[in-house]
Structure 1
Amino acid sequence: MKTIKIAGVPEHFNLPWHLSIDDGEFEAVGIDLQWTDVPEGTGKMCQMLRDGTTDIAVILTEGIIKDITNGNPSKIVQVYVQSPLIWGIHVAANSSYETLSDLENSIVAISRMGSGSHLMSIVNAEHQNWNTEKLTFEIVNTIDGAVEALTNGKANYFMWERFMTQPLVDAGIFRRITDCPTPWPCFVIAVRNEVLEQHPKVIEQILDIINTTTEEFKMIPSIDRTLASKYNQKLDAIQEWLKLTHWSQEQMNEQSLDKILEQLLKLQIIDKKLPKEAILK
């Protein structure tokens, strides 16, 4: 049995992994796939890939490309979710901020530097023609930290996946001002170079299994009810999310990568463009 460590956010996008693990599909081919939930998100998973505490990460595209550019010894082996991630822009329910323009020059809560919540706040600022160099950040680590920071006024707004934050909106803790979709496919699968070199067949088997699961995922009977129950969501919200979400079973092509790199360069999220071979397997 070959042990492989994998990390991802505890969100509905990753239910296909849990179903495949619970069904014993990896075990059946001699792979002990050990999943770790990482509520801190992409910045934390980049660190885990660097220090070897995970072999694989299901991770935000912009975050891992930035970190590979900065020396993370990993590669993207496949796009996992092709559709954009819809980021909700949230304020405290009792906040005086009413419109997106009100948030210019205010403090943004982020899970950590290099995380999706950090990078997407730059994307949003660029879209609004704000001066991105004037953005001020409060590091909150997790969504619970963001609740605390917005409630006590340490930060003014927080960007997180819209559907996962909906229960906080429904509970009157957050108020969502608007949405900001990513201008690229949202999640990719990244693997440490050492693991790719030593166990290429194992990685291939893992991808074959998860791709079969994601291809059939929407056809699973009552999958909307399962998701709603497991992730504390309303059924109609999950049904909307399922319509908007499209998993991928393919590697990113060179044209798509180049387009993403150009956008990240323009936003000054990266300072150079690595060749395709340094990013994609």
Structure 2
Amino acid sequence: MKKVKIIGVPEHFNMPWHLAIDENAFKERGIELEWTDIPEGTGKMCQMLADNETDLAIILTEGIVKSITEGNPTKIVQEYISSPLLWGIHVAADSTYKKISELENTKAAISRFGSGSHLMAYVMAEKENWNTEKLNFEVINNLEGAVTALTNNTADFFMWERFTTKPLVDNGTFRRIEDCPTPWPCFVVAATDSFIAENRSALKHILEVINMYTEEFKTIPSIDKTLSNSYNQKLEDIKEWLSITKWSQSKMENKTLENVQNSLLKLNLISEKINYKKILY
């Protein structure tokens, strides 16, 4: 049995992996897939890939592209979610801020530098025509840290996946001002160069299994109720999320990567673009 380590955020996007693991779909191919939740998100996962603490990661596109351009020995092996991620822009429930324009020159809570919450703050700022050089950040590690930061006024706003934070909006901890979708497919499967070099057959089997599960995922009877119960989400929210989320079974196209690199370069988040062959498997 080949042991393979994989990491991802503890969010509803990754339910197909858990179903496949629970149903021994990987073991049937001779693979013992060890899943670890990483609540700190993409910045932490980039570090773990770079340090060879994992073989695979389900990770935000912009974060891993930035990390690879900075020398992370990793490749994007496939798109995972082809639809945009809906980032909710949140403030404390009792905050005086009511609209995005009022957040200019305030402090953003981010899980860590290089994370999605960090990079998307730049995407939002450019969209709003703010001076991105004046963005301020407070590192909060994870969702719990964001609750503390916004409640204690050490940060003013926080960007996180809209449906994951919806329970905190519902219970009066956060107030969501607006949404900011990513301008590209949001999640990819990434693998370390060392894993790819030594395990091409295992990687092929893993992708075949997960692609079968994601292709049929929305047709599973009562999958909306299962997701609602598993992730503490209202059924109506899960139904909305399922309606706008598309899983991919395809490799990332060069033009998609070009769009991501162009955006990151324009925002001064990467120093140079690199050849797609150094990023895509």
Tell me if both proteins adopt one fold, taking TM over 0.5 as the criterion.
Answer: yes
Q: What's 1:280 paired with?
A: 280
Post-superposition offset of 1:122: 0.6
Query: Is 2:209 the partner of 1:209?
Result: yes
1:244 is aligned with what amino acid?
A: I
Post-superposition offset of 1:256: 1.4
d(CA) in 2 for partners of 1:62, 1:136: 20
1:27 is aligned with what amino acid?
A: K
1:68 is aligned with what amino acid?
A: I
Farther off after superposition, 179-188 or 260-269: 260-269
Q: Please show how residues 109-120 of structure 1 align to structure 2 within 5 Å.
A: 109-120=109-120
State the SS of the aligned residue for 2:78. strand
Post-superposition offset of 1:126: 0.6
Farther off after superposition, 259-268 or 71-80: 259-268
Q: Please show how residues 248-267 of structure 1 align to structure 2 within 5 Å.
A: 248-267=248-267
Q: What's 2:92 paired with?
A: 92
Post-superposition offset of 1:269: 1.4
d(CA) in 2 for partners of 1:224, 1:52: 35
State the SS of the aligned residue for 1:160. strand
State the SS of the aligned residue for 1:90. strand
State the SS of the aligned residue for 2:47. helix
d(CA) in 1 for partners of 2:241, 2:128: 26
d(CA) in 2 for partners of 1:211, 1:137: 37
Q: Please show how residues 173-252 of structure 1 align to structure 2 within 5 Å.
A: 173-252=173-252
Post-superposition offset of 1:185: 0.2
d(CA) in 1 for partners of 2:200, 2:37: 24
Post-superposition offset of 1:165: 0.3
Q: What's 1:160 paired with?
A: 160
Farther off after superposition, 247-256 or 79-88: 247-256
State the SS of the aligned residue for 1:122. helix
1:126 is aligned with what amino acid?
A: E
Per-residue CA deviation, residues 79-109 of structure 1 (Å, 9 max, x unaligned), is 0000000000000000011110010000000
Structure 2 stretches lacking a partner, 5+ long: none
Q: What's 2:48 paired with?
A: 48
Post-superposition offset of 1:268: 1.3
2:43 is aligned with what amino acid?
A: G
Per-residue CA deviation, residues 49-85 of structure 1 (Å, 9 max, x unaligned), is 0111110000000000000000000000000000000
Per-residue CA deviation, residues 111-134 of structure 1 (Å, 9 max, x unaligned), is 000000000001000100101110
State the SS of the aligned residue for 2:185. coil
Q: What's 1:108 paired with?
A: 108
Post-superposition offset of 1:196: 0.2
Post-superposition offset of 1:254: 1.1
Per-residue CA deviation, residues 237-258 of structure 1 (Å, 9 max, x unaligned), is 1000000000000001111111
Q: Please show how residues 5-84 of structure 1 align to structure 2 within 5 Å.
A: 5-84=5-84
State the SS of the aligned residue for 2:154. coil
State the SS of the aligned residue for 2:273. coil
1:97 is aligned with what amino acid?
A: Y
Farther off after superposition, 204-213 or 253-262: 253-262
Q: Count how many residue pairs are aligned between Structure 1 and Structure 2.
A: 281
d(CA) in 2 for partners of 1:260, 1:47: 20
> Structure 1 stretches (4+) deviating beyond 6 angstroms?
none
d(CA) in 1 for partners of 2:59, 2:256: 17
Q: Please provide the CA RMSD for this pair.
A: 0.5
Post-superposition offset of 1:262: 1.0
1:127 is aligned with what amino acid?
A: K
Query: Is 2:135 the partner of 1:135?
Result: yes
Post-superposition offset of 1:225: 0.2
Q: What's 1:170 paired with?
A: 170
d(CA) in 1 for partners of 2:260, 2:170: 34
d(CA) in 2 for partners of 1:256, 1:11: 24
Give TM-score, length-normalised by structure 2. Answer: 0.99
2:108 is aligned with what amino acid?
A: V
State the SS of the aligned residue for 1:273. coil
d(CA) in 2 for partners of 1:162, 1:255: 27
